[in-house]
Structure 1
Amino acid sequence: MFNMAWLWALVWISLCMVLPMALSQRVSSLPNRCYREPEPASCKIGRPRYYFNVTTELCEYTRNTRCSGRRPTFFSTASQCMQRCGCRADADPGPCDGYSTRFYYNSRYRMCTPFVFGGCGGNFNNFKTFFECQWSCRPGFFSFDSDFEF
Structure 2
Amino acid sequence: MHPEKASTTTCIGECTPGDLEVKHERRAARAVATEEEEGSGGMDNSPFTKNKAGSCHMPPAAGPCLGSNDRFFYNASSMACEKFKYGGCLGNPNNFFTERECLQTCRTEAACRLPIAKGPCKLSETRWAFDSDQGKCIIFHYGGCKGNGNHFYTEKECKEYCGVPTG
TM-score range, shorter chain: 0.3 to 0.5
The structure with the largest strand share of the pair is 2
The structure with the largest helix share of the pair is 1
Work out which of the two has the higher radius of gyration on C-alpha atoms and give 1 or 2: 1
